[in-house]
A and B are shown apart, each in its own frame.
Chain A
Amino acid sequence: MITFCSKCLVILFLFMLEVSSANGKIITPNINRAIFNAEEVINNFSELHENLMHDTGSAGCSNGMQRSDSKYEVKEKISERYDLMKEYLPQFQESIGLLIAYLKDSIFNRIGLEKDFSDLQKTTKFYNQRPSINYDDVVTPDYLAAKIYLDAIKYQKEMDKHSQHLDKEIELNSPYLQQSDEMFSFDNFNFKTLCALETNVFQYRKILPSRNIGASVILNSPVSRDGGLY
């Protein structure tokens, strides 16, 4: 009984500690909102994209379309993928823009204005608990924020560049998509831009810090503890 109670107490204590630490962490709502927003958009897109791929056959981007796929399926699938991308692209651009804006403010204020080069080298390192982010295990909060920021800028640029060609690609493919199955040929088809954009989206998902770990970790500096992140 006593053992059970002490176990209960330990669990209760740990639970309370967890709750209090979660509450105690100052996670700037803005950056969390940006991460949440980006995750929501990407998850919705990914789910729809996955269903689409599942329903319509095995074709992907990296290996090109499988010759075994029926021509009808291919045409349908490609059209739907274009529609999906057209619908989601502005949302991706907005969410990545928001994330970059908040990271930019964070880095500008927390590193750019507040720190000198000796501070940068003094920062305590922490263990990166987000294995999906393909960074080193041991990094500094400054480094993680900087890396995500630079990567996000890279993907934003990529996305912007490809988005300019998306309509053109749809226009070029349109006649082929409207062809009858008999006339349709895989060789006439080019969906390079679509594939590049899809790749960007999945890469972008990889760099996102989780809401509870990544964001607090990014902000987990002396400045942010004082509520100094803007």
Chain B
Amino acid sequence: MSARVILLFFFGLLSIILSSCTSNEAVEKDMDCPLPESKNIVKAFQQASKVLSRPECEYDVMSIWKKLLKITQGNPQPQNREYFDEFLTWLNKANLIEDNQQKELFGRFFDTTFVSLPIHKNRSVCDYCYDSKYGEKKLLKNIDEEMEQKQLGLFEILGDESLYKKSLKNSNDLKVIIKAACTSCAAKSSGYGEDGTKNPGIEENIKIGSTLFYKRRQEIIETVSDFEKHFMVLKRKLSQQGTASSRSILFDLERNVNLSSFLQVYNIKKGRFSKDMIHNNNIAVVCTAISKNIDEYNNKLKNYSLSSSKYVPNSEFFKNICRYDKNNYRMLFLDNYKKIEKEQINILFFLNKHLEIEIELFNYLLDLIPKEYKKSHLKGLFLDTDIDFLSDQIRTLQESKLNISIENKSLSRCKIFKANIRAYHKLIEATASAENKVSLTLLPFVKKFTWSEGSRVLCAD
């Protein structure tokens, strides 16, 4: 009996100790980064800033933000807008949120325009209608979700009924436009000509082009998005570690980032990272990829008896498009793209869209490189090309009994690049004209190119 009592007493004591430990931990956790509790709005914002000033609470921004929304929800007044604006500005200054996050958070709750819709240079409404990440349903859902946030912000927190109604109208209008745009994008062009008669070729061409384009775009977007995710996670981890070795890796990573090295070094290769994509961090390859697509597309056009010769970018185009300009390389690229786009909105729809995604990917990769190193790495990125890419073409052509040789010449990288582009053009022309006696000389690049301060290697004449 006494043993039983002792046992019961022992378990009771144990459970008390355990429960007290758990509650202490919970209390300690809450005490670490407490959410603002004051019903006085000014005090609540002060509490929030105070807590977030502590390094260990930096990650609680969103939960504190939500709590502030809840506190102000019960007390609607126009001044709340300023409190939130000031708070977001403070968060930004304290490096707790980025500029775009600041704008987005404010816009979501306190502005009548919709910020949850993706905005990216060179991507149109149609692109998003086809995007697996977005698509029409997701776009409409985004608007509905943001509308709920606006209801909370504009109506329940600011008490501004007119702004709320305005945003409601915007959301309804936007939804109608998006539905119509996505329907029209799915239906593509009807192919009606200026005289109102139907053009039988264009619709079919666009269908072929669009299918290829959307497939390719999807691949690139998935690749980039995965890459971005891994890259950001890794960077965050490295900076959090703060050790000498992690800093060294981070240093290397930031200065030598490109898809292939990143994937190799950090061993996160996946099936979807095709070799072709890995080398897409290279503008020379982008150029050759473009020419490859022109070739493919011309062949398709021929099947529909549509002459496209005047739309084929000539060597001048490539010279311009692939020319490095330290100040406005993007503009050059885009200018040329725009020139073609104006001429051939329908016929070269596919090509233009393809260019667009290449530009997007290229620009994305450039964005990853820190500004101060962009200048130097640009040259490397621009001039490096991958002979393997051309070799695939060579193999195909050798089967067609074309006379192709690979020579090693001691030329500047610029000259090598230009020679290869010229050769590649010749190769395209040969394929297009079905000639079978063409001599081409291709010059392989040295794989690693180091740019040194002061050296000028420009590909312009």
Instruction: Check A108/B176 contact, CB under 8 A, given A116-B123, A116-B125, A117-B114.
Output: no
| CB-CB nearest in chain B for A228 | B345
Binds A, one of B35-43, B59-67, B178-186: B178-186
Instruction: Check A112/B185 contact, CB under 8 A, given A30-B194, A121-B113, A145-B180.
Output: yes
Mask of A36-63 contacts with B, CB within 8 angstroms, 1/0: 0000000000000000000000000000
A112 touches B126 (CB 8 A): yes
**Within 8 Å CB of B179, what residues of A?**
146, 150
11 A-B residue contacts at CB 8 Å?
A104-B189, A104-B190, A105-B184, A108-B181, A108-B188, A112-B184, A116-B119, A117-B125, A121-B114, A145-B180, A146-B180
Would you give the shortest CB distance from A88 to chain B, in whole angstroms? 21
Main secondary structure of the interface of B (DSSP, over half): helix
B181 touches A146 (CB 8 A): yes
Instruction: Check A115/B125 contact, CB under 8 A, given A107-B184, A121-B174, A149-B184.
Output: yes
**Within 8 Å CB of A120, what residues of B?**
125, 174, 177-178
Among candidates A104, A111, A136, residue contacting B187 with C-beta atoms closer than 8 Å: A104
Instruction: Check A149/B183 contact, CB under 8 A, given A104-B190, A120-B174, A143-B176.
Output: yes
| CB-CB nearest in chain B for A101 | B190
- Docked CA distance A116–B356 (Å): 14
Would you give the shortest CB distance from A48 to chain B, in whole angstroms? 27
Q: Does A220 contact B (CB under 8 A)?
A: no
- Docked CA distance A105–B170 (Å): 24
A116 touches B113 (CB 8 A): no
- Docked CA distance A112–B189 (Å): 11
- Docked CA distance A210–B117 (Å): 33
Q: Does B12 contact A (CB under 8 A)?
A: no
| CB-CB nearest in chain B for A120 | B177
B176 touches A121 (CB 8 A): no
Number of A residues near B (Cβ < 8 Å) is 33
B124 touches A112 (CB 8 A): yes
Number of chain B interface residues as a range: 35 or more
**What residues make up the interface of B, taking CB atoms closer than 8 Å to A?**
113-114, 117-120, 123-126, 128-129, 169-170, 173-174, 176-185, 187-190, 192, 194, 196, 345-346
- Docked CA distance A145–B120 (Å): 24
Q: Which of B120, B123, B176, B187 has the largest number of chain A CB atoms within 10 A?
A: B176
Would you give the shortest CB distance from A225 to chain B, in whole angstroms? 15
B189 touches A105 (CB 8 A): yes
- Docked CA distance A109–B202 (Å): 14
Mask of A87-122 contacts with B, CB within 8 angstroms, 1/0: 000000000000001111101110111111110110
Instruction: Check A150/B176 contact, CB under 8 A, given A107-B181, A108-B189, A117-B118.
Output: yes
A116 touches B120 (CB 8 A): yes
Mask of A4-25 contacts with B, CB within 8 angstroms, 1/0: 0000000000000000000000
**Within 8 Å CB of B126, what residues of A?**
108, 112-113
B183 touches A105 (CB 8 A): no
B124 touches A113 (CB 8 A): yes
**Within 8 Å CB of A101, what residues of B?**
190, 192
